[in-house]
């Protein structure tokens, strides 16, 4: 069975990595029992729909960025693959899919980071079409209210979102299983930011905060405006998704957020470069003193999210927390994620609290998580056996 996939955000970092993996591992030329056909590509301005699919070699060139002008590339693909083009608004895309007779046959992949527009698109796909959707975009299920989240996620055969939290460690389906099994989640502690993890690891080596942030940007661990990764919102969104998966009716406004930097550094009139200079001049020493004080007490500072039940109500926080240096959280390094969950069954009293650690972020694992969701969303998945090549 060939799976027809329409990629939104195809020219972004995640989208290009996804196309690269599909072209080399999942295409009809790969010999895979259930190959992936890329039948649609969209950026923020244009989309192309190609019912017969796009050949792997062309996908590979797209992923590598060798076809530089996206619109011209879509025109070229359209002319060679009998497709159609249009502007990237949700009505036009859904209309084109319907006109091509593909309603019910397409799986949309959201590799964007858009909120309002993509939230409406997700809702329209689930409510008004027979198609399916796999998303790495957290916003539609984290920033809307609980009813919106429930409407999107209530049919797991049509909507998948494992890539939204801890892409490489599979926490989303595990938490959903807890709720389905009436195994109540009581507590969660989670290091969910690759950026925050990298920075706290490096400043613990007595490196200046401004220097580490600059390296994080250079290495791609942080956005060019690094404040987008340090405002706490990314962890908060992941925390909301985790809590909702565990069965709790929570909202993003319920999360108490301590930003990685003081509020003054998030002034919209302050450029990223000026902010970095301001950190070097004013805040490097403050953070260095905080790290030194923690070290004297054999503590390690991490930037984490937490979920607890207090007086019968969920309480969620994002911010700095000290851990004993000898604990798993205290020893966590680099961009890896770590999540610890206490439930009625998995709890410290039984010496079996649930713990998982691994690559929770990064282009490769995010794209792989999308592909995994595409596999699980197939109507019938029959196990296949293959000989590994080494």
Q: What is the DSSP string of 62-125?
A: HHHT-S--HHHHHHHHHHHHT-EEEES-HHHHHHHHHHTT-TTTEEEEE----SHHHHHHHHHH
Summarize the confidence of residues 264-270 as an average pLDDT.
95
The residues pairing with 162 across neighbouring beta strands, listed in sequence order, are: none
**Predicted local confidence at residue 168, as pLDDT:** 72
Query: CA 371, CA 68: separation in Å to the nearest integer?
Result: 25
When mean pLDDT is compared across 62-71, 100-109, 301-310, the lowest value belongs to 62-71
The answer on pLDDT for 65 being more than 50 is yes
255 C-beta neighbours (distance < 10 Å), count: 23
Q: Is residue 381 part of a domain?
A: no
Same domain for 295 and 313: yes
Q: What's 140's domain CATH number?
A: 3.40.50.720
The structure tokens listed for 319 are 């911010």
Q: Is residue 13 part of a domain?
A: yes
**Mean residue pLDDT across the chain:** 90
Same domain for 190 and 310: yes
Same domain for 196 and 88: no
Same domain for 311 and 193: yes
The CA–CA distances, whole Å, from 305 to 111, 361, 388 equal 24, 16, 39
Query: CA 270, CA 226: separation in Å to the nearest integer?
Result: 12
Same domain for 201 and 149: no
Q: Is residue 213 part of a domain?
A: yes
Q: Is residue 390 part of a domain?
A: no
Confidence of residue 67 (pLDDT cuts 50, 70, 90): very low
Same domain for 160 and 258: no
Residue numbers of the domain that contains 81: 3-167+365-376
Query: CA 185, CA 248: separation in Å to the nearest integer?
Result: 9
Q: Is residue 388 part of a domain?
A: no
* pLDDT tens by residue, 139-197: 999 999 999 999 999 999 999 999 999 887 889 999 999 999 999 999 999 999 999 99
* φ/ψ of residue 306, rounded to 5: -140, 150
**Predicted local confidence at residue 76, as pLDDT:** 62
331 C-beta neighbours (distance < 10 Å), count: 12
Q: Is residue 228 part of a domain?
A: yes
Same domain for 324 and 207: yes
Same domain for 107 and 64: yes
Q: Which of 241, 234, 15, 238 is nearest to 108 (CA)?
A: 15
CA quadruple 15, 18, 20, 22: dihedral positive or negative? negative
Q: Is residue 384 part of a domain?
A: no
When mean pLDDT is compared across 25-34, 188-197, 240-249, the lowest value belongs to 25-34
Query: Which position has the token pair 């406004």?
Result: 253
Q: Which of 291, 149, 139 is nearest to 206 (CA)?
A: 291
Confidence of residue 70 (pLDDT cuts 50, 70, 90): low
Same domain for 200 and 153: no
Query: CA 55, CA 77: separation in Å to the nearest integer?
Result: 10
Q: Is residue 31 part of a domain?
A: yes
When mean pLDDT is compared across 270-274, 341-345, 374-378, the lowest value belongs to 374-378
Same domain for 250 and 133: no
**In terms of pLDDT, which residue wins out, 40 or 30?**
40
Same domain for 372 and 239: no
* φ/ψ of residue 272, rounded to 5: -60, -40
Same domain for 155 and 74: yes
Summarize the confidence of residues 27-52 as an average pLDDT.
80
Cα 141–chain centre separation: 11
Q: How many domains does the chain have?
A: 2
* pLDDT tens by residue, 320-352: 999 999 999 999 999 899 999 999 999 988 778
Which secondary-structure segment (H or E) carries 57? helix 56-64
Q: What's 286's domain CATH number?
A: 3.30.360.10
């Amino acid at each position: 069975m060939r799976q027809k996939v329409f990629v939104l955000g195809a020219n972004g970092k995640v989208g290009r990595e996804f196309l690269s993996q599909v072209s080399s591992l999942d295409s009809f030329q790969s010999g895979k029992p259930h190959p992936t056909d890329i039948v649609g590509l969209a950026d923020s301005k244009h989309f192309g729909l190609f019912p017969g699919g796009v050949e792997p070699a062309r996908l590979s060139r797209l992923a590598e960025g060798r076809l530089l002008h996206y619109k011209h590339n879509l025109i070229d693909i359209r002319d060679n693959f009998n497709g159609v083009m249009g502007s990237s608004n949700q009505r036009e895309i859904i209309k084109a899919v319907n006109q091509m007779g593909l309603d019910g046959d397409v799986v949309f992949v959201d590799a964007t980071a858009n909120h309002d527009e993509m939230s409406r698109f997700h809702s329209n796909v689930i409510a008004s079409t027979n198609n399916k959707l796999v998303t790495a975009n957290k916003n539609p299920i984290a920033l809307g209210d609980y009813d919106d989240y429930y409407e999107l996620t209530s049919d797991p055969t049509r909507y998948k979102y494992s890539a939204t939290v801890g892409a490489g460690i599979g926490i989303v389906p595990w938490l959903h299983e807890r709720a389905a099994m009436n195994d109540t989640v009581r507590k969660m502690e989670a290091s969910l930011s690759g950026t925050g993890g990298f920075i706290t690891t490096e400043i613990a080596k007595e490196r200046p905060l401004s220097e580490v942030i600059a390296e994080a940007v250079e290495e791609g661990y942080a956005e060019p405006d690094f404040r987008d990764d340090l405002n706490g919102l990314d962890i908060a969104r992941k925390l909301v998704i985790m809590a909702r998966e565990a069965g709790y009716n929570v909202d993003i406004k319920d999360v108490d957020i301590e930003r990685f930097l003081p509020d003054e550094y998030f002034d919209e009139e302050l450029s990223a470069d000026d902010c970095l200079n301001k950190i070097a001049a004013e805040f490097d020493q403050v953070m260095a003193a905080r790290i030194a004080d923690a070290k004297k007490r054999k503590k390690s500072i991490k930037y984490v999210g937490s979920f607890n039940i207090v007086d019968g109500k969920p309480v969620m926080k994002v911010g700095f927390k000290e851990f004993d240096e000898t604990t798993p959280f205290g020893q966590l390094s680099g961009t890896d994620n770590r999540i610890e969950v206490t439930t009625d069954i998995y709890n410290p009293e039984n010496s079996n609290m649930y713990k998982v650690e691994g690559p929770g972020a990064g282009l490769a694992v995010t794209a792989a998580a999308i592909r995994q969701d595409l596999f699980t969303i197939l109507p019938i998945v029959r196990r296949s056996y293959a000989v590994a090549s080494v």
